[in-house]
Structure 1
């Protein structure tokens, strides 16, 4: 395999650098995740070994840096002319099936570097995160004053009930994509193939229904509606039908709102991992993001642009 043209450098952000590489065997896609998200290539390869149609196949993964190469999988769903509910339903149907394929792999995903958030202990984890923020020096961008931390801790009390409900329901842990939108889902290369899911950098092994958080926000934005809109409800029901081994759609629907509320804890964790190696300027620019996530954990779900 030989390069046919210069590397085309794309986005360079705090969390990753990306590029495309033209070769005589086709275009390759390169990603260099930040150190805190460096397990993405290894995790992607593991999931591909289980479900090769729904996950990408890394051609090479540097286990020291986390840099990896992928083949070009074509266009994503954002290239379609306009979003519509049936497209979201298909996307979440396929993702639910992928999650079901992965159930029971807890030890293996941990060995491949995937972080875990279990409803059984997620609130203890959240309390520890508050302590971490409060213990930082007062001039640190991630510092939360003790009084504010106490107020947040009090505001989190309803989340204890959410976690207890999710834990008692008996839904097994699986992949929470944590950034599942149309730009991270590829169109099938062959007729009859399922959709392929990309960009697992933010992913957690957690309650699977937490993965609905980002799609619901995107649908609210794209359809100019509230989360309880009938179109969104139908899409969610299509997703829940993939979990019929664990209850009826009505029974499982009771778990959706608690899972979405708790999903912010994973989003907070991603930002702490991103900022772990940030320089002073990036810390000043982005340090408010994980703090704002904590402050909004118990707030109503908002469109992605709100």
Structure 2
């Protein structure tokens, strides 16, 4: 097993290498670094450097292996939808490195996000999801994980296999009863995945952590960043994290979800399809939301496993309960008799 990600990115050799890359990337644009980069944060999955230049501040980001698709994904989004995502200053996809211009405060830092802010974020992202439907091959070619509904049952098996092989007492290992209930819920997970696969809404970009802290405004419109948790998945999975963050902050979520749903109703209407959840025999909107909650729990647990794959023992102690905690959300959504 190689060195832990956080050990690598705090080493003198890594700092020398990244500083040289940053300096060269900026010099090719006529920009000069004026002070040694600062490292404000290190996590098991990513780190950032703040770079002072004679043209303003820049940000450098390095990711762990499981998120190394992010620089290429960010660059592709900026090409396909430049009004929704900024183009990086420079990327090294092979190393998971990205340099971006500073855009100032995030939406969350600018003000306490209200219903109008959340509606703007979610409707803008819904339209971005629709734009990207036809770009699946290109997005997946960046390394974006394919977590579309049809892949979820197999991913559940993989995550369960991983978690049960952790030793007893490890923070990531669920207790025996929880593992047994998760195994018993496999058919319910497969049914949820099938319902999503048969819905009129196609797989597309799922941000993975969409909230106002990962959005900044340009000319009054939101642009997204921090895509290291992104996946190719059913679009409604994006609502899981967003609704939890919004409600925690006291936002009335109902009008936000109506606004987001409206973007997909419009998308369906353009294609001569009935509004989501209104076709006879099709799952309701609430039914699709429930199914997306089930598949999201599996996909997010799997993402956490990847984020911690290069963690130290101390970092596992701090973060290791996350894969099991997210996977156990399946049990909150599946009737006891099915789990």
User: TM class by shorter-chain length?
Assistant: 0.7 to 0.9
**Cα separation, partners in 2 of 1:247 and 1:23, compared to 1, 3 Å:** farther
Answering whether residue 296 of structure 2 is matched by residue 263 of structure 1, we say: yes
Deviation at 1:62, TM superposition (A): 2.1
- Correspondence list, 1:1-306, <5 A: 1-138=31-168, 140-144=170-174, 148-188=178-218, 190=219, 194-223=221-250, 230-241=254-265, 243-244=267-268, 245=271, 247-251=274-278, 253-254=285-286, 255-299=288-332
Counterpart CA distance in 2 for 1:58 and 1:22 is 16
* Bigger Cα displacement from structure 2, 174-183 vs 106-115: 106-115
Aligned length, in residue pairs: 294
Deviation at 1:277, TM superposition (A): 1.3
Q: Secondary structure at the match of 1:186?
A: strand
Counterpart CA distance in 1 for 2:257 and 2:315 is 39
- Kept in 1, the 8 Å contact 2:115–2:251? The answer is no
Deviation at 1:157, TM superposition (A): 3.8
TM-score computed with the length of structure 2 as normaliser: 0.79
Counterpart CA distance in 1 for 2:74 and 2:65 is 16
Deviation at 1:156, TM superposition (A): 4.5
Counterpart CA distance in 2 for 1:233 and 1:100 is 16
Cα offsets for 1:31-80 (capped at 9, x unmatched): 11223212111111112111112112122122332121011223221023
- Kept in 2, the 8 Å contact 1:74–1:187? The answer is no
- Kept in 1, the 8 Å contact 2:208–2:230? The answer is yes
- Kept in 2, the 8 Å contact 1:92–1:239? The answer is no
CA RMSD of aligned residues (A): 2.3
Deviation at 1:120, TM superposition (A): 1.9
Counterpart CA distance in 1 for 2:89 and 2:254 is 42
Counterpart CA distance in 1 for 2:181 and 2:112 is 43
Q: Secondary structure at the match of 1:103?
A: helix
Counterpart CA distance in 1 for 2:240 and 2:259 is 13
Counterpart CA distance in 1 for 2:163 and 2:35 is 47
Unaligned runs of 5+ in 1: 301-306
Deviation at 1:288, TM superposition (A): 1.6
TM-score computed with the length of structure 1 as normaliser: 0.87
Deviation at 1:261, TM superposition (A): 2.9
Deviation at 1:151, TM superposition (A): 1.9
Cα offsets for 1:272-295 (capped at 9, x unmatched): 111111122222332221011112
**Cα separation, partners in 2 of 1:219 and 1:238, compared to 1, 3 Å:** farther
